[in-house]
Amino acid sequence: MITTILATIIALGVLVTVHEFGHYWVAKRCGVRVLRFSVGFGRALYTWKDQAGTEFCIAAIPLGGYVKMLDGRERTISEDERHEAFDQKPVGQRFAIVAAGPGINLIFAALIYALISMIGVQTPVPVVGELPTVTASKTRLPAEIVSFDGRDMESWERISIAMVDVIGDQTTVQVGLRPLDSTIVNQVTMPVPRDLITDESPLVAFGVRPWSPPIPAELARVIAGGVGEASGLVAGDRITAVNGNPVADWSEFVAAIKVAYGLSTELTLKRGDLTQT
């Protein structure tokens, strides 16, 4: 929660600063005297002035900002100051100053998106661990989804969008699957659901379950003073069974513990070379 609030404040601060800088920069280019450049409203937390006399300010409420310019509509100005007043500039220059804020925001957004495109964004490889029975019998799982309805797929997001596109228009769809232990892509036919229930994930509608590598049911640490420590568990113990039922990985261990929650539970574990209960 705190992290989200701080991130929002920082993001707003950056956007406001960029926006107001657009007004400031064009105003200076047009010969308008800028009296104050403020990021935020309310009580000033920190101020300083440059050689031109512009006061820069960081204020307490980071929900906006402003650039205050010399303007004859706000106070009486001398004849020597008229050439630096905003209201005395030609319409074209005044329009440019006003439009510079949103204009530089658009340019800034384009630069950020271009930077993200150059750097790239890491996304999980779309590897499926479970398919409808009629489809799963035609390939080995887990397998990477490399194409869907003739389109190359690189992420679960694109696959979800492609799934929505075919629901209601087709009864089946061709999917390219490459088993993780192979380089051969198998083209299989997958049934398309008739419709999509509100708020239902397209993956659920198609009977597709993403695969994740198994995590051993090994304890990284034991909370001091907790039930685990009282039961004699120590970091490094690897759980192999719960109430006599084998568990292959961490997800199976968690599922077994949920079933046995509140009940007396017997764990079988490996500690070093020894197996004990």
Q: Quick check: bond before 210 cis, omega within 30? A: no
Largest CA distance in the chain: 95
Instruction: Please report the beta strands in the chain, taking only residues with DSSP state E, as ranges in sequence order.
Output: 34-49, 55-69, 127-130, 143-148, 151-152, 172-179, 186-191, 209-210, 238-242, 245-246, 267-271, 274-276
Q: How far apart are CA 171 and CA 167, in angstroms?
A: 8
Query: 30: how many CB neighbours lie within 10 A of its CB?
Result: 18
Give the residue numbers annotated as catalytic, written as ranges: 20
The Cα–Cα gap between 84 and 76 comes to 13
User: CA-CA distance, 86 to 222, in Å (whole number)?
Assistant: 68
Contact in structure between 218 and 236 (CB atoms under 8 Å):
yes
Contact present, 157 and 123 (Cβ < 8 Å) = yes
> CA 96 to CA 29: how far, in whole Å?
10
Pairing of strands 151-152, 143-148: antiparallel
